[in-house]
């Protein structure tokens, strides 16, 4: 597998993620006690659990691809690194965190895909948490552990993305993206307390 194939895989996976997040938002605002997934009815708690497991599996797949891309860059063994950098910067994937405008960096605009990817991760976790809250399917310590693992995976992948960006992006754009991401994370955390 090369960089382009990994990015194509990420593009397809985020399509599934988008559908899952829209479904999760609809589940969250719904007052129904029974929710149909396909033709199978589930009570609200079990539907929330399925949503959380599906979001986790999608983010694990995204994580694996980002780790693969990072390994290629960090190892330094990549023969066509310039071609790979161009592929990362200009791939049409809508949530490409490594995107850089072709002519000159547009700092805020170029940061939007990364912000959207972080928001998708946050909404996936927060939507699941809101659906599972008060359902008492599992002891609280198990749910806390699952969400802790989800959060730690996000932090690890965020660090990995940052490391790749430091290699393949214009350095000023890299610094701007770091600050924009920090602000986006603060905003998302403060929204979640509402």
**pLDDT for residue 76:** 64
Task: Indicate the pTM of the whole model.
Answer: 0.75
pLDDT tens digit sequence for 101-156: 877 767 778 888 888 888 887 777 777 777 666 666 666 667 777 777 777 887 78
Q: Quick one: which H or E segment has residue 12?
A: helix 3-29
Task: State how far the Cα of 97 lies from the Cα of 161, in Å rounded to an integer.
Answer: 8
Token readout for 134 is 């008060």
pLDDT tens digit sequence for 4-32: 888 899 888 888 888 887 877 777 777 77
Domain ranges for the chain: 3-192
**pLDDT for residue 18:** 82
**pLDDT for residue 137:** 64
Task: State how far the Cα of 42 lies from the Cα of 72, in Å rounded to an integer.
Answer: 43
Task: State how far the Cα of 86 lies from the Cα of 145, in Å rounded to an integer.
Answer: 39
Token readout for 46 is 């079990």
Cα–Cα distances (Å) from 57 to 48, 51, 134, 164, in that order, read 14, 10, 23, 23
pLDDT at 192 over 70: no
């Amino acid at each position: 597998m090369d960089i382009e194939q990994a990015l194509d895989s990420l593009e397809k996976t985020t399509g599934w993620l988008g559908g899952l997040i829209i479904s999760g938002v609809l589940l969250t605002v719904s007052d129904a006690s029974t929710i149909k997934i396909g033709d199978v009815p589930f009570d609200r708690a079990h539907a929330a659990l399925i949503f959380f497991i599906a979001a986790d599996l999608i983010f694990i797949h995204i994580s694996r691809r980002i780790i693969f891309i990072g390994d290629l860059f960090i190892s330094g063994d990549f023969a066509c690194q310039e071609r790979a950098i161009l592929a990362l910067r200009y791939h049409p994937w809508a949530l490409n965190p490594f995107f850089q405008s072709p002519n000159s960096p547009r700092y805020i605009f170029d940061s939007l895909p990364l912000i959207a990817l972080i928001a998708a991760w946050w909404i996936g976790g927060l939507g699941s948490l809101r659906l599972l809250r008060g359902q008492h399917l599992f002891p609280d310590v198990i749910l806390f552990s699952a969400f802790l693992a989800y959060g730690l995976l996000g932090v690890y992948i965020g660090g990995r993305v940052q490391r790749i960006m430091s290699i393949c992006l214009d350095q000023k754009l890299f610094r701007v993206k770091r600050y924009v991401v920090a602000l986006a994370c603060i905003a998302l955390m403060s929204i979640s307390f509402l």
